[in-house]
């Protein structure tokens, strides 16, 4: 259920595998749709449940992402406060996840005092360590509203060649997924009043990712080198190593603790990932045992592909820049967009099947879970990847072969000769390789299919494992084995005469 799952507080345990699971924090300005569910919370829930069955010590945290432009814009639209918007939709999110059987250990929210304290503390460390800079940038200003327009308060046509989507936001185009700067939009309009904004100068603070490049690349190489990051995740990460603005001209957010910028708040993608930490702090005052314990805690994160760079670049760079011993991302699970009527699900436009709609169908939640997880949109058409993305193709093929090996092991007690044949086709000796051992030395291999087959391994010659039965063959067997043995013998004797 979408609340604390047990009375006892979970903390890392000595001698156990401690797994910290998070899913991308769903934004609170609308009800989650099925794309949100399968891309983050449902996938994370399935993995957390699997880890618990394996006997691991698991903490699964999530919560609503509540600060930023979208909430402020919704509040302006509805004539209420951002806090009222967040309170209403947090309750709706929690109810949807409870109905789907999502078993969080804690489901919190980012608009907490813990979020403010931890976020501002991280900022001060970055400032003291010299990883922040001040820059004057150009930003759209609405004369009618008398305010600088944050990214999501602007809408226009996408400037990306071949796209031209006429409802692109100031931070990202929903159609092509390209990250944008609001002043790049073609024919921009203020979403509050509809006026055409002008361009003005304004000062902001930036995280100097290029200065953190050595630290970040050292972490990325170590974290992604074992194949637990997809090639796509690594590629997107490398493209992001440039200064990133971390402040915004808004009221609803974590205040910037700096005299010059006291009227600004932190950019939601600076403070939102810190929400994983603050939500854990709301769960237990001993949160540092999870988040400052990389030697004993493994962090697994689940999200849609548009969230990747914020978790593989912004978040780890922010933590690395503090100089403290943070628990950093070990593995990332990323999904493609779930489609609806040949298009993309969209909370902003109300397109798709939403979480509260599913109850009205009278279809049990387990059916929805099964359908969504079996149709989870996956980075794996190897016949296309072979030409377009060779490293990605290699990852898919190696993982697929590893999964075949695991299935052969699982089926051996039931179909021993079948398992032997599978391993022979994989060019593996059954007597040496058939094992499902979970002793300490093999524990990691038991959970990672891509590590079960050595790099460079050549499989044997594939051949069909079973022969299909056509209708004529089935009809022949029915005739041949109809009746008792005595009747069949008499029929055979008659036929032989």
Q: pLDDT tens digits for the chain (497 residues)?
A: 444 445 689 999 999 999 999 999 998 887 776 777 777 898 999 999 999 999 999 999 999 999 988 888 888 888 999 999 999 999 999 998 998 899 999 999 999 999 999 999 999 999 999 999 999 999 999 999 888 988 878 899 999 988 989 889 888 887 887 888 889 999 999 988 889 999 999 999 999 999 998 888 888 777 766 656 655 556 666 677 789 999 998 889 999 999 999 999 999 889 999 999 999 999 999 999 999 999 999 999 998 877 888 898 899 999 999 999 999 999 888 776 665 555 555 555 555 566 667 777 778 888 888 887 787 766 767 788 788 778 778 878 888 888 888 888 888 889 888 888 998 898 887 666 666 665 544 444 444 555 677 778 888 888 888 888 888 988 888 888 887 888 878 877 787 77
Domain spans of the chain?
18-130+210-234+267-374, 133-203, 384-451
Q: Distance between CA atoms of 473 and 93, rounded to whole angstroms? A: 55
CATH of domain 133-203: 2.170.220.10
- The pTM of this model reads 0.79
Distances (CA, A) of 435 to 53, 192, 403: 20, 62, 13
**Backbone angle region of 146, left / alpha / beta, with phi > 0 → left and psi within -120 to 50 → alpha:** left
Cα(131)–Cα(133) distance, integer angstroms = 7
The superfamily in CATH containing domain 18-130+210-234+267-374 is: HUPs (3.40.50.620)
HSE (side-chain half, CA atoms, 13 Å) at 122: 28
Place of tokens 């069949």: 488
Q: What is the pLDDT of residue 33?
A: 67
C-alpha of 312 from chain center: 11
281 contacts 60 by C-beta, under 8 angstroms? no
Instruction: Indicate the length of the chain as a whole number.
Output: 497
Spatial separation of the C-alpha atoms in residues 7 and 100, rounded to whole Å: 21
Residue 91 phi, psi (nearest 5): -65, -40
């Amino acid at each position: 259920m979408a609340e604390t799952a047990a009375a006892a507080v979970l903390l890392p345990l000595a001698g156990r595998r401690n797994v910290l699971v998070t899913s991308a924090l769903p934004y609170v300005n609308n009800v989650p749709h099925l794309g949100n569910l399968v891309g983050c919370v449902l996938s994370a829930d399935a993995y957390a449940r699997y880890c618990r069955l394996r006997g691991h010590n698991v903490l699964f945290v999530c919560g609503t992402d509540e600060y930023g432009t979208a909430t402020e814009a919704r509040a302006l639209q509805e004539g209420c406060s951002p806090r009222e918007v967040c309170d209403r939709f947090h309750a709706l999110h929690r109810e949807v996840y409870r109905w789907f059987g999502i078993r969080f250990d804690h489901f919190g929210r980012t608009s907490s005092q813990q979020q403010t304290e931890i976020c501002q503390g991280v900022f001060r460390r970055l400032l003291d360590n010299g990883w922040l800079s001040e820059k004057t940038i150009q930003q759209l200003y609405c004369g009618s509203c008398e305010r600088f327009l944050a990214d999501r308060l602007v809408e226009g046509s996408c400037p990306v060649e071949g796209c031209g989507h006429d409802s692109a936001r100031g931070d990202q185009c929903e159609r092509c997924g390209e990250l944008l700067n609001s002043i790049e939009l073609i024919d921009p309009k203020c979403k509050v009043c509809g006026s055409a904004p002008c361009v003005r100068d304004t000062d902001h603070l930036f995280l100097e990712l290029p200065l953190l490049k050595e630290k970040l690349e050292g972490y990325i190489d170590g974290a992604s080198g074992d194949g637990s990051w997809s090639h796509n995740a690594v590629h997107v990460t490398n493209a992001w190593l440039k200064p990133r603005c971390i402040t915004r001209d808004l009221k609803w957010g974590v205040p910037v603790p700096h005299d010059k910028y006291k009227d600004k708040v932190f950019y939601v993608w600076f403070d939102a990932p810190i929400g994983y930490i603050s939500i854990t702090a709301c769960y237990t005052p001993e949160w540092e045992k999870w988040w400052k314990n990389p030697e004993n805690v493994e962090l697994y994160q689940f999200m849609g592909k548009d969230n990747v760079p914020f978790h593989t670049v912004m978040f780890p760079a922010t933590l690395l820049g503090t100089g403290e011993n943070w628990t950093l991302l070990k593995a990332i699970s990323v999904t493609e967009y779930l489609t609806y009527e040949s298009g993309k699900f969209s909370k902003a436009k109300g397109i798709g099947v939403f979480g509260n709609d599913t109850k009205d169908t009278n279809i049990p939640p387990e059916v929805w879970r099964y359908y969504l997880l079996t149709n989870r949109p996956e980075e794996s058409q190897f016949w296309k990847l072979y030409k377009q993305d060779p490293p990605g193709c290699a990852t898919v093929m190696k993982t697929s072969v590893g999964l075949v090996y695991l299935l052969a092991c699982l089926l051996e007690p039931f179909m021993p000769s079948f398992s032997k044949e599978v391993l022979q086709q994989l060019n593996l000796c059954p007597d040496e390789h058939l094992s499902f051992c979970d002793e300490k030395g093999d524990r990691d291999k038991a959970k990672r299919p891509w590590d079960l087959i050595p790099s460079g391994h050549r499989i044997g010659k594939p051949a069909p494992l079973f022969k299909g039965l056509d209708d004529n063959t089935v009809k022949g067997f029915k005739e041949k084995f109809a009746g008792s043995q005595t009747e069949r013998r008499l029929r055979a004797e008659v036929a032989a005469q």
